[in-house]
Amino acid sequence: MNKKQTQRVLIASLVGSSIEWFDYFLYGTVAALVFNQLFFVNEDPTVGLLLAYASFALAFFIRPFGGVVFSHIGDRIGRKKTLVLTLSLMGIATFGMGLLPTYQAIGVWAPILLITLRLIQGLGIGGEWGGALLLAVEYAPEDKKGLFGSIPQMGVTIGMLMGTIALWIMTLLPDDSFMTWGWRVPFILSAFLVIFGLWIRKGIDETPAFKKVQESGEIPKLPIVDTLKYHWREVLIAIGAKVVETAPFYIFSTFIVSYATTNLGFDRTEALTAVMVATVVTTILIPIMGNLSDKVGRKKLYVTGTIAMALFAFPYFWMIQQGSVALLVLATVIGLGIIWAPITAVLGTMFSEIFEAKVRYTGISLGYQIGAAVAGGTAPLVATALLAEFNNSYIPVALYIVFTSLISLVAIWAVKDKGQQRAGQKILVKGSRV
């Protein structure tokens, strides 16, 4: 594959992933700022917020179903066709959200329609991640799989950054304007991003690994059955390893927006700025960490990040409790920007290396999406519930972050580090030439 083809594949993987996550995270942030007032109307503000976060969490539970449906298509028909379907689905749902009438206009139908569109988003993102990752990893040279696999992971933070910037601009509007129409603008404009993403993806070919499976005639009739029958251990490992990558992420990026504004006296713009700065830092670090994993191994980087996450849980909350904007930004940069980066950078490549090509789309999608459903979508909900239960004390929330780290350390213990093996093989080859 020449340089131009490589660039197009990586751009297709990154752009589609970024757009999908932009749509997805837009909902998460707006849920904390707008939906609790305009769609999930309740006399108790905490109940309204919990309902908004429940709708946020709901999509995580539909994601594994999206993963099963679209990974079946991906393992049977091909990665490329699947990625066009997932991106189109996400785009339609997000655009529709921007046009929805509120509770005040149509009553209970407003939250029902919003939740329906959120579920469609969940189906789309459930199939998108695995395809975007495999597009990059299955085109990658053997010694650059870590780097290539980290590129679609940047889509998570770029999408979040685009969503945060879009909302940050809108929050500069007067409150009445923001609540009336300002929040809708990013949802509606996302349609242009989707059209661009579909155009980029149209010009790429099917991955070499899938072509080999096609040529060998080993395409499984029901990839989900083969995966659960022969690779259930790998699925469990992936679910466990996903926990520390997803729960703290949503604490640092989504929960913090409502917590900092409601409990700590920061304004919306300050909270969003902290998340925005941290997101820029982690976006820069992800490919650096992916490249490093090709030299030192995926597992080593992942374990280092996971231990650091557990150690930083209490200092993080202490820092943001001080009421200083500078400390709020610094704490978010350390947690989301620096510590989280090596974990997410290697996660996708590590997952792809523990499954065979013929069920790879299904295997990584199941592990990733079930892990996200169990630990990710519930994280803001769990954190908010813990605060309400324990008198606004942050200690249970910090312990929750530590707990997620321990689960993932147990899971990752079973993974053989292929990145490290390749690094060792390269050293042996070089040594034999001397």
pLDDT tens profile 339-352: 999 999 999 999 99
Q: How many CB atoms sit inside 10 A of residue 400's CB?
A: 18
Q: pLDDT over 70 for what percent of the chain? A: 95
Identify which has the larger pLDDT, 432 or 57. Answer: 57
Cα Rg of the chain, angstroms: 21
Predicted confidence at residue 429, as pLDDT, reads 39
Distance of CA 308 to the CA centre of its chain: 20
Residues 6+ apart with CB under 8 A from 83: 12, 16, 128, 131, 132, 135, 201
- In this structure, what token pair is assigned to residue 23? 């749509």
Q: What are the backbone angles phi and psi of residue 93, rounded to the nearest 5°? A: -65, -45
Helix (H) or strand (E) segment spanning residue 118: helix 109-137
Closest CA relative to residue 255, chosen from 382, 166, 138: 382
Range with the lowest mean pLDDT among 138-152, 327-341, 367-381, 416-430? Answer: 416-430
Q: Return the residue matching tokens 């707008």.
A: 34
- If pLDDT is split at 50, 70 and 90, which confidence band does 417 have? low
pTM score? 0.82
Contact at 8 Å (CB) between 263 and 391? Answer: no
Predicted confidence at residue 407, as pLDDT, reads 95
Q: How many CB atoms sit inside 10 A of residue 425's CB?
A: 12
Predicted confidence at residue 285, as pLDDT, reads 97
Mean pLDDT throughout 403-408?
96
- If pLDDT is split at 50, 70 and 90, which confidence band does 307 have? very high
- Gap between the Cα atoms of 20 and 24, Å rounded: 6
- If pLDDT is split at 50, 70 and 90, which confidence band does 426 have? very low
CA distances from 32 to 21, 29, 248, 326, 348 (A): 17, 5, 17, 22, 29
Mean pLDDT throughout 333-361?
92
Angle at the Cα of 28 (from 262 to 239), degrees rounded to 5? 115
DSSP code of 206?
A: P
Predicted confidence at residue 358, as pLDDT, reads 85
